[in-house]
């Protein structure tokens, strides 16, 4: 029995049930009593975190991110919200920049609201967001960003995702597979190269550049200028892959008949609009958010240590840019 069941039986929102059971909010005595009666009839027992919230807690979690565009933070937030909605917990989103003083203003504002935990998320897994949270008295989880030593951490398995994408190209019969990716200084790019190397060995051609469609164009031109004509290309991002496909089309090279192409990110606004639609690796950002939310909850209950790390697997979404969608096994197909 969860707070969601009580809310549905009482015909009110989860937040209203939370207010009724915790003696907060602007509810009439009759409405509060009616909700409490429903909870008692259903034998609802608030969990440990809910009991803690009666001690000046707020049933809220703070999400801090430097991803002001929302490409990563929105799906992460959705996952957090879905993980905690049954507990009646809401999520406050605060975007921060590279100024530690301004970032601290956001942290203090969330702590003033008595949030019951903080999740810190970013745009890059290898960069530290400029926040010193050593002095906060609530659970802190880092997701998709570098974590200080000793803090809970959720990361994406980029290496394995790239391995699966490259292996899929190989299983389709592609023999000359190149890898075009982002800057070598980025951990994500290096991890995806590692996965590519693991799948085909050390002899494959790797090109590092920018995370952009333009770099995809330039990389194809470079390969053909070198006399290298791959029959499969794995890319470090969907933007790069889209540029690759456009450049191949301009050269009269058919995708996927002549060259199979796979991207990375499953950025649907890009992947589905690519012609042909792009086979790509989904980073499962919503699942990353869900895991981060559950970790905050478990830490507040004392069920896990503060230094635990979880790695979220990626999944391959097979569309038309590789071919072979008709024979993709169930554990490879991630979408249409």
Same domain as 254, residue 116: no
Cα–Cα distance, 201 to 198 (Å, whole number): 6
- The total of other beta-carbon atoms located within 10 Å of residue 205's CB is 16
Same domain as 227, residue 81: no
Angle between helices 29-41 and 3-10 (to 10 degrees): 120
Q: Provide the CA 152 distance to its chain's centre, in angstroms.
A: 16
Q: What CATH code is carried by the domain that includes residue 118?
A: 3.40.50.2300
Q: What's 278's DSSP letter?
A: P
pLDDT at residue 57, as a whole number: 61
pLDDT in tens, the chain (336 residues): 677 788 899 999 877 887 888 777 778 989 999 999 999 898 876 544 444 444 556 789 999 998 888 889 999 999 999 999 888 889 999 988 878 888 889 899 998 888 989 999 988 888 888 888 888 888 999 999 998 877 899 999 999 999 999 999 999 999 999 999 999 999 999 999 999 999 998 888 999 999 999 999 999 999 999 998 999 999 999 999 999 999 999 999 999 999 999 999 999 999 999 999 999 999 999 999 999 999 998 888 777 777 889 999 999 999 999 987 665 554 454 543
Cα–Cα distance, 70 to 66 (Å, whole number): 9
178: which 2 tokens?
């190149």
Tell me, yes or no, whether 74 lies in a domain.
Answer: yes
Same domain as 239, residue 190: yes
Tell me, yes or no, whether 55 lies in a domain.
Answer: no
Same domain as 42, residue 11: yes
Q: Where are the beta strands (DSSP E) in 24-170?
A: 60-65, 90-95, 118-121, 140-143, 152-156
Same domain as 90, residue 148: yes
Q: Provide the CA 38 distance to its chain's centre, in angstroms.
A: 37
Q: Evaluate whether 261 touches 321 at the Cβ level (below 8 Å).
A: yes
- The total of other beta-carbon atoms located within 10 Å of residue 262's CB is 31
For 52, residues 6+ apart whose C-beta sits below 8 A from its C-beta are 116, 300
Tell me, yes or no, whether 52 lies in a domain.
Answer: no
Q: HSE, CB side, 13 Å, CA atoms: give it for residue 313.
A: 8
Tell me, yes or no, whether 333 lies in a domain.
Answer: no
Sort 272 into a burial class: Cβ within 10 Å, 0-12 / 13-18 / 19+: middle
Please give the torsion angle defined by the CA atoms of residues 224, 197, 186 and 335, in that order, rounded to the nearest 10 degrees.
90
Residue in 78, 148, 79, 84 with CA at minimum distance from that of residue 117? 84
pLDDT at residue 49, as a whole number: 43
Residue in 37, 33, 46 with CA at minimum distance from that of residue 4? 46
Q: Evaluate whether 297 touches 87 at the Cβ level (below 8 Å).
A: yes
Note the pLDDT tens digit of each residue in 268-297: 999 999 999 999 999 999 999 999 999 998
Sign of CA dihedral 66, 71, 77, 79: negative
Structural domains counted in the chain: 3
Same domain as 100, residue 16: no
Tokens 């999944």 locate to: 315
Q: Where are the beta strands (DSSP E) in 51-107?
A: 60-65, 90-95
Cα–Cα distance, 329 to 324 (Å, whole number): 10
Tokens 């570098």 locate to: 146
Q: What CATH code is carried by the domain that includes residue 20?
A: 1.10.260.40
Q: Strand, coil or helix: what is 262?
A: strand
pLDDT at residue 136, as a whole number: 86
Tell me, yes or no, whether 238 lies in a domain.
Answer: yes
Same domain as 163, residue 134: no
Cα–Cα distance, 116 to 270 (Å, whole number): 36
pLDDT at residue 54, as a whole number: 44
Sort 268 into a burial class: Cβ within 10 Å, 0-12 / 13-18 / 19+: middle
Q: Evaluate whether 35 touches 12 at the Cβ level (below 8 Å).
A: yes
Cα–Cα distance, 243 to 299 (Å, whole number): 43
Same domain as 132, residue 40: no
Q: What is the extent of the structural domain holding 202? A: 158-283+316-327
């Amino acid at each position: 029995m969860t707070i969601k069941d009580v809310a549905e039986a009482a015909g009110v929102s989860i937040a209203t049930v939370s207010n009724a059971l915790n003696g907060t909010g602007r509810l009439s005595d009759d409405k509060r009593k009616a909700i409490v009666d429903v909870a008692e009839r259903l034998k609802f027992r608030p969990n440990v975190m809910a009991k803690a919230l009666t001690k000046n807690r707020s049933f809220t979690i703070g999400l801090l991110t430097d991803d002001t565009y929302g490409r990563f933070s929105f799906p992460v937030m959705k996952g957090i919200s879905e993980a905690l909605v049954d507990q009646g917990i809401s999520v406050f989103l605060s975007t921060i920049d590279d100024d530690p003083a301004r970032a601290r203003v956001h942290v203090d504002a969330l702590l003033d609201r008595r949030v019951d935990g903080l999740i810190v998320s970013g745009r890059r897994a290898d960069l530290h967001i400029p926040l010193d949270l050593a002095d906060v008295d609530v659970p802190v989880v880092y997701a998709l960003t570098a974590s200080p030593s000793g803090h809970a951490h959720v990361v994406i398995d980029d290496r394995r995702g790239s391995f699966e994408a490259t292996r899929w190209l190989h299983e389709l019969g592609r023999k000359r597979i190149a890898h075009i990716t982002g800057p070598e200084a980025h951990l994500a790019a290096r991890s995806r190269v590692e996965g590519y190397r693991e799948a085909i060995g050390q002899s494959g051609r790797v090109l590092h550049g920018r995370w952009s469609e333009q770099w995809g164009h330039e990389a194809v031109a470079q390969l053909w200028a070198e006399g290298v004509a791959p029959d499969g290309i794995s890319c470090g991002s969907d933007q790069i892959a889209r540029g690759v496909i456009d450049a191949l089309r301009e050269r009269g090279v058919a995708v996927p008949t002549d060259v199979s192409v796979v991207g990375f990110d499953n950025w649907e606004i890009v992947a589905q609009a690519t012609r042909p639609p792009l086979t790509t690796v989904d980073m499962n950002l919503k699942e990353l958010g869900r895991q981060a939310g559950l970790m905050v909850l478990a830490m507040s209950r004392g069920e896990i240590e503060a230094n635990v790390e979880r790695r979220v697997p990626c999944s391959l979404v097979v569309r038309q840019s590789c071919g072979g969608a008709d024979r993709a096994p169930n554990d490879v197909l991630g979408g249409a």
